[in-house]
Amino acid sequence: MAKVKKINHIAIAVHDIDEAAAFWRDALGLTLDHVEDVPSQKSKVAFFPIGDCEVELVEPTATDTGVAKFLADKGAGMHHLCLEVDDIDGMLTALSKKGIRLINEKPVVLPGRRMAFIHPKSANGVLVELYQVD
């Protein structure tokens, strides 16, 4: 049976990564590990490791994305919680059998990982991302 291993990251939707990074870097003293363009998700992401987890700042690079819509509707703030799982295919199958609404029924393949989202209507209003790290 598939299991949740840990919180992988907490994603914060931002209008401008450089501006938002100042709080995490300058006020809290966190180290910016790197910034990554993610064309498949039409976003730019900044990674701030904290222990075995990360805070990720997510800036949309197009106006037709979920993050851009989130920013337009709600403004900057926590976008999603990402849970790392040991078997994403098994987890998606198990969730589907339990009637959990999935945004991605099959994992999206990204470099070094596979991911899928659970619809917030099935998770008490929280957008949950599942990750399986290769």
Q: Residue 84 belongs to a domain with what CATH number? A: 3.10.180.10
Q: What is the pLDDT of residues 15-31, one digit of tens each?
A: 999 999 999 999 999 99
* Domain residue limits at 83: 4-133
Q: What is the pLDDT of residues 40-83, one digit of tens each?
A: 889 999 999 999 999 999 999 999 999 999 999 999 999 999 99
In which element (H, E) is residue 90 found?
A: helix 88-97
Cβ neighbourhood burial of 21 (10 Å; 0-12, 13-18, 19+)? middle
Buried b (16+ CB within 10 A) or exposed e, 48-72: beeeeebbbbbbbeeeeebbbebbe
Averaged pLDDT of the chain? 96
Check: pTM over 0.85? Answer yes or no. yes
Q: How many domains does the chain have?
A: 1
